[in-house]
Amino acid sequence: MSGPVVGLVSQGGARWVGGAEYIGNLARAVVAAGGSQPRLFSLATVADQWREVPAEVVPVRRWVIPYGDRMGLNRRHLREALRRAPVDFLFPFTYGNGNIGMNFPVQPVLGNTRWAGWIPDFQHRYLPHFFGRKDLEIREEGIRRLLGEAPVMVMSSASAAEDLKRFHPEYGGRVEVLRFATAPRAEWYEAANSLPELPDRYFAVCNQFWVHKNHLTVFRALGLLARRGVRPVLVCTGAMDDNRDPAYPAKLREALEVGKVQEQVRFLGLISRRNQVEVLRRSVAVVQPSLFEGWSTVVEDARVLGKRILLSDIAVHREQAPPGAEYFEPENAEALAALMEAAWNQWPAGQDLVAEGEARRLGEARLAEVGRRLLEIAGGSRA
């Protein structure tokens, strides 16, 4: 199987690791499905960050903001990149597209190249209090312009697709669902001890410290457990900052102090992908407490590692339905504490080679299915 040549628009980076993983996993999915090597379009200044992705990286030169047009970006550079490395289908265009220096309209640049839009989620509609007024306006305007031009929208979950239809019913007939999956990599399943500072037993939370990721509920659950004499260790990865709420790190530290559990939480900061996988593998379980997700990369990571997970009970987590998951109301610290206590007392820590082997096998099949689905959409097929 080869099919259409897929071009991928780079997303994310250090501040949004999930976006970068999303694109890398899509590239691996196309290869797993037997498709032609995808081409990944990225600003030349960050193109080197994609060197491990199985794709031909096509650098796009830095753009120039034309005088008098603060929202308009110079489209010439993407047109030149597409001329050097033509593709049949380019995805995803979202409401920002800063990673390739593009703004709407995009069709004059793309010509006959098919393309699709993508909105990671509608968090701003459900949790508007986490956004400033200007941020909401910019996001809504970007979505309006994207939907006004995109021939088709590809959403990462049925939940997100339903949200699109709910908030923009006029667009309901041009929606495809492409659930992504984490690509299992051989080196992940090797014996690893590159983080000797990890304790023998701990829970893992691997999210950026953004308000909607809901670390507060986990920290409060630790405080409740401490009062009962149960003191599990928690290992957290990710940078502790959220530009939407600069005071948020102080709120997190206060929660730890109030619960008197500061010594139980280890902050590793931003670490390599390989090390993050090791944190997940060696844990008792993963805790994913988010208030909102489009499709959780952490859940997919736990799935391909055969690791149990405690999940906030939101629609998309139920849709992902990883094996053996336990669910709790997102802001119910008592419910989470009960699940954590039971898991701490009953679940083993560390790598389970049998579970990992089966999860890897299923993960490879799942990844190929994602790739086939993307190639169908790229070729103009509808499910």
Q: What is the DSSP string of 19-85?
A: HHHHHHHHHHHHHHTTPPPPEEEEETTTGGGGTTSSSEEEEEPPP-PPTT-SS----HHHHHHHHHS
3-state secondary structure of 90: strand
* Nearest of 208, 366, 181, 185 to residue 278 by alpha carbon: 185
- In the chain, the amino acid numbered 366 is R
> What is the H or E stretch that residue 273 is in?
helix 273-281
In whole angstroms, how far apart are CA 136 and each of 102, 122, 158, 159?
20, 11, 24, 21
- Picking from 17-21, 62-66, 131-135, which range would have the lowest pLDDT averaged per residue? 62-66
- In the chain, the amino acid numbered 111 is G
Q: Report the CATH number of the 6-183+364-378 domain.
A: 3.40.50.2000
Assign domain 192-350 one CATH number from 3.40.50.2000, 3.30.43.10, 3.40.50.300, 2.60.120.10: 3.40.50.2000
pLDDT, tens only, 192-220: 778 888 999 999 999 999 999 999 999 99
pLDDT, tens only, 103-128: 788 888 888 999 999 999 999 999 99
pLDDT, tens only, 355-375: 999 999 999 999 999 999 999
State the span(s) of the chain assigned CATH 3.40.50.2000.
Answer: 6-183+364-378, 192-350
Which of 67-71, 94-98, 236-240, 277-281 reaches the highest mean pLDDT? 277-281
Percent of the chain with pLDDT over 70: 93
For the whole prediction, is pTM greater than 0.75?
A: yes
The CA distance from 100 to 44, in Å, is 9
pLDDT at position 49: 82
DSSP label at 200?
S
pLDDT at position 184: 97
More confident site: 14 or 227: 227
The CA distance from 160 to 245, in Å, is 25
Residue 188: is its pLDDT beyond 70? yes
Mean model confidence pLDDT for the chain = 90
Residue 69: is its pLDDT beyond 70? no
The model's confidence at residue 255, banded by pLDDT at 50, 70 and 90, is very high
The model's confidence at residue 62, banded by pLDDT at 50, 70 and 90, is low
* Nearest of 206, 327, 214 to residue 269 by alpha carbon: 206
What is the rounded average pLDDT of the residues 61-69? Answer: 49
